Amino acid sequence: MLSEPWKRKLIYLTPSGALSKVTRPTSLGAEIVVLGRKLYQSKTMNPSYLWLQKIQGEVRTDELMSDHTSLRIGGPADVFILPKDIADLQTILKNKGTAPLFFLGEGTNLLARDSGIRGIVVSLKEGFKTVSRPLFYKSIDGKEKAVIKVQAGVKLSYLAKYAARYSLTGIEHLVGIPGSLGGAWTMNAGAEGVDIGQVTRSITRLTTRGEIEKLKRDQLIFNYRKTQFPAGHGLLIEGEIELEKGDAVEIQNTMDEHLAKRSSRQPLTVPNSGSVFKNPEGDTAGRLIESAGLKGKTIGSAGVSIKHANFIVNKGGAKATDVLKLIRLIKEEVKEKTGVELELELVVAGE
């Protein structure tokens, strides 16, 4: 449900789908024009809120974030939009007013609070899933390479398998990483010393003014689990990756090895957080947490995985508050016993 600052009005669709006008008492004491599906309006939204009718994709209200996160935790988002295309995104940016926006990928490495997320949550996982055919060329040093254009809603693991079909090497180590390209570019996702930034040629973003801006490689700084973008804000919508021609058998073997390793070392069969903390230089968060005696530690229905100590699992009905208490305990215990201050990789969203 919406919190107190977000006073609600209901907009209903008449059985015939026709325009209808209804007067309904609200905290704001305003008449409500009925047009379209059931919607909510708040003080911080565009007053009419009817601009949502322009969205070609799907619009939902009070959508539980637990249905969209790998931890299966999270209260309702006020408005949840699955945009169909860039035009939908431009409509959102133009009309949202002062309402906060939260852009959602696959919901991995994300903890949504129990009270949910105020404002508008935008997910690209339905409308931005196009991957181009590789464009092959020969580099100056004679190597055969290819450029693939990929949209932000494409899963990273799918892209790795797609590249393997064309015997392209460079991202096979990333095959088991959950999440979409949008999130991968934002946090420079990686594994085994390989990250998405190493093969990224360009990233295109939609600015807050609704303009399309292409960022070249030399404008981006890829750090450990964080990408620095040029000044300004925007939504990542697509990018280009550059890969080399490799040996198909070797590429497939590498992917098989990494998938088997992940399956044996990570709690992939239960709702989980993904990596909770960043690895400190020269060590791993998982080893430090285990050395502090916290493997298997549980608060409420949230527990430190017995397979991998840097993962928190939902044992059934866990709350965000359980996870946050567990994170606080882990940080305190690791600091006390090892002297290392763990840095959170998990994104916490909501109020």
Q: Which residues are catalytic?
A: 225, 275, 345
- Tokens found for residue 42: 């708040």
For residues 168 and 144, give the distance between their C-alpha atoms in angstroms, rounded to a whole number: 10
CA 217, 221, 224, 225 torsion-angle sign: negative
DSSP for 222-265, please give it. Answer: EETTEEE--SS-EEEEEEEEEEEE--HHHHHHHHHHHHHHHHHH
DSSP percent split of the chain into helix, strand, coil, nearest 5: 25, 30, 45
DSSP for 115-169, please give it. Answer: T-EEEEEEE-TTT---BPPPEEEE-TTS-EEEEEEEETTSBHHHHHHHHHHTTEE
